[in-house]
């Protein structure tokens, strides 16, 4: 199929206000098929003609069920970076020995602990340095034969799921590492509590703190796996994309040297307020778990089993319930990690001065709107995703253009009947063999997404607020408002 990529002026009122569907399972199936096909094509002698580009690298998820992290180390453009497959899949970090598995193309080190498990007395506390096993863990996936002196760039993936569900097992990370080799660029457990008690304890947005702890682990240990700690790009989709933004906004915009770029798919600066406004949610959880009469409700919650807390949390709204994305589990200002409303932080200039790419699907809100009886017209249906997705993206671009290198995109592929190019449909273009993966991998390796394949992706500026649009088709056309430039990949 021909791939038509377009440059579209992105001004207020000129974008299509769109909607979303949560089609992660569909995209996961596509990703698996893409990975299998890619591995077969990788054996071809002329890799420059390989069409498939795949997948994403995962560092982190801060969702409230499984909190594992994954790193993808991508092959560098540097001459002489070709790696021998003879290197043993064994890495030593401090007193630990980490053993990986390899299929001849990539080596995977799975389930490496980076912090203590937030259970028992450590529940509702900041992440603690590791002392034992069974804790917050991270996956590292590298090109086969990578050695400690390879110094390859890193894509740190933060998966989505509305801060309520998700796993780093959904997207197969070997896909993006394989594609990077072809291109020559190998690149919850109640962690978002709310309320006055949480504010007084300084433990709001613990999931974001978990991500930060993982990034610090990367700085300390990734060299042993062949990664370059100075070349980390944090990247995510949906809640993971929002998390990338929050990592950029915290600490006055000071990255602490933890990452040098950001890549965001369907998530930006949420217009949320202070989390103390969600006191009723905390009170509900305390009541449902039998901790209402306790002198210290936080200590009481720490003594409970995870099952008791999860049962209570399951009775609160989710991102697929009537109030949709206005759930109590979204990150809010906590006075610690996010010192103010995220959009106020942007206005105050509390943004990391790094290159970033941000984009949305064309119909971000459609699926979420299905749970709301207030959506009664086609116009309301088609504009439902603008408040959470499109408008915050434009806001961030508007505030930061001219201050740092920016690029933006819109995805109009993989449409779902009745829902259009819904939320998360762009993942197929990364994990399932699409050209977005090429742009991502080059960006991780060089901070510039442009290269030998695809049309040029211009920076987003005040004078030229252009998007790269991923759409289906293979013709050239022009209109007064939009310039379409076709780019067909070789078969």
Question: Which of 6-20, 71-85, 228-242 shows the highest mean pLDDT?
Answer: 228-242
Q: Give the integer Cα–Cα distance in Å for 379 and 6.
A: 25
Beta-bridge partners for 358: 264, 408
What is the C-alpha separation between 407 and 113, in angstroms, rounded? Answer: 34
pLDDT band of residue 258 (cuts 50, 70, 90) is very high
Which residue did the predictor score with more confidence, 454 or 208?
208
The DSSP bridge partners found for residue 237 are: 265
Under 8 Å between Cβ of 127 and 134: no
pLDDT at 479 over 80: no
Give the side-chain half-sphere CA count within 13 A for 430: 28
How would you classify the pairing of strands 96-99 and 90-93? antiparallel
DSSP bridge pairs for 420: 416
Q: Are the beta carbons of 211 and 300 closer than 8 angstroms? A: no
Q: Which structural domains are found in the chain, ordered by start?
A: 21-451 (3.40.50.1820)
pLDDT, the chain, mean: 75
Strands 227-237 and 261-265: parallel
Question: How far is Cα 217 from Cα 234, in angstroms, rounded to an integer?
Answer: 14
Q: Which two tokens stand for residue 126?
A: 């900041």
User: What confidence score (pLDDT) does residue 77 get?
Assistant: 47
pLDDT at 60 over 50: no
The structure tokens 């759409």 sit at 471
Report the percent of the chain where pLDDT is more than 90.
37
Tell me the Cα Rg of the chain. 22
Q: What is the pTM of this model?
A: 0.78
* Contact by Cβ (8 Å): 332, 249: no
- pLDDT for position 329: 80
Q: What's the pLDDT score for residue 190? A: 60
Phi, psi of 351 (to 5 degrees): -135, 135
**What distance in Å separates the CA atoms of residue 10 and residue 12, rounded to the nearest whole number?**
7
| Residues annotated catalytic, as ranges | 238
Q: How far is it, in rounded angstroms, from Cα 393 to Cα 16? A: 13
- Residues 190 and 204: their CA atoms lie apart, in Å, by 11
Q: How many CB atoms lie within 10 A of CB 223?
A: 18
Q: Is the separation of the CB atoms in 77 and 445 below 8 Å?
A: yes
- The total number of residues written for the chain in this structure: 491
pLDDT of residue 486: 33
Bigger pLDDT: 39 vs 119: 119
CB atoms within 10 A of CB 344: 16
At 256, the pLDDT band (50, 70, 90 cuts) reads very high
With 60 as the cut, is the pLDDT of residue 79 above it?
no
* Residue 162 token pair: 């509305």
Pairing of strands 68-73, 152-158: antiparallel
User: Which structure tokens are listed for 427?
Assistant: 């993942």
Mapped onto helix, strand or coil, the DSSP state of residue 481 is: coil
- Local confidence band at 168 (pLDDT 50, 70, 90 cut-offs): low
Kindly write down the DSSP assignment for every residue of 404-429, as one continuous string: S-EEEEEE--SPBTTTBSBTTTTHHH
**Taken in order 243, 384, 164, 33, is the CA torsion positive or negative?**
negative
pLDDT band at 185 (very low <50, low <70, confident <90, very high): very low
């Amino acid at each position: 199929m021909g791939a038509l990529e377009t440059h579209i002026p992105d001004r207020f009122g000129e974008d299509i206000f769109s909607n979303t569907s949560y089609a992660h399972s569909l995209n996961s199936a596509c990703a698996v098929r893409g990975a299998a096909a890619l591995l077969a094509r990788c054996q071809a002698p002329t890799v420059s003609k390989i069409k498939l580009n795949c997948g994403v690298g995962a560092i982190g998820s801060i969702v409230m069920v499984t909190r594992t992290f994954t790193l993808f180390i991508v092959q560098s453009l540097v001459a002489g970076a070709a790696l021998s497959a003879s290197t043993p899949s064994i890495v030593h970090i401090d007193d630990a020995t980490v053993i990986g598995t390899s299929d001849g193309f990539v080596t995977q080190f799975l389930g490496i602990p980076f912090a203590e498990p937030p259970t028992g007395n450590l529940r509702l506390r900041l992440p603690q340095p590791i002392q034992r096993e069974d804790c917050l863990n991270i996956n590292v996936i590298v090109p086969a034969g990578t050695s400690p002196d390879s110094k390859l760039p890193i894509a740190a993936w933060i998966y989505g799921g509305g801060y309520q569900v998700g796993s780093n097992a959904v997207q197969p990370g070997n896909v993006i590492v394989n594609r990077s080799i072809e291109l020559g660029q190998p690149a919850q457990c109640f962690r978002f509590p709310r309320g006055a008690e949480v504010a007084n304890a300084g433990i709001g947005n613990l999931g974001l703190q978990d991500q930060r702890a993982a990034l610090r682990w990367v700085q300390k240990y990734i060299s042993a796996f062949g990664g370059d700690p100075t070349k980390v790009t944090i990247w995510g989709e949906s809640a993971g994309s929002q998390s990338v933004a929050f990592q950029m906004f915290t600490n006055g915009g000071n990255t602490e040297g933890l990452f040098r770029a950001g890549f965001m798919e369907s998530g930006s600066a949420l217009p949320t307020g202070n989390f103390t406004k969600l006191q009723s949610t905390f009170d509900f959880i305390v009541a449902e778990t039998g901790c209402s009469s306790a002198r210290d409700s936080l200590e009481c919650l720490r003594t409970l089993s995870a099952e008791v807390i999860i049962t209570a949390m399951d009775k609160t709204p989710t991102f697929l319930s009537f109030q949709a994305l206005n759930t109590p589990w979204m990150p809010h200002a906590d006075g610690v990690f996010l010192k103010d409303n995220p959009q106020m932080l942007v206005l105050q200039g509390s943004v990391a001065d790094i290159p970033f790419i941000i984009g949305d699907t064309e119909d971000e809100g459609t699926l979420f709107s299905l749970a709301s009886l207030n959506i009664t017209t086609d116009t309301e249906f088609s504009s439902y995703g603008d408040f959470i997705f499109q408008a915050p993206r434009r806001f961030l671009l508007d505030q930061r253009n001219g201050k740092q290198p920016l690029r933006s995109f819109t995805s109009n592929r993989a449409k779902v009947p009745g829902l259009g190019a819904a939320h998360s449909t762009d993942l197929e273009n990364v994990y399932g063999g699409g050209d977005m993966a090429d742009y991502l991998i080059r960006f991780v390796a060089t901070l510039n997404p442009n290269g030998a394949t695809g049309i040029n992706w211009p920076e987003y500026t005040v004078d030229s607020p252009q998007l790269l649009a991923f759409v289906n088709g293979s013709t050239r056309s022009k209109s007064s408002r939009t310039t379409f430039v076709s780019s067909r990949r070789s078969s």
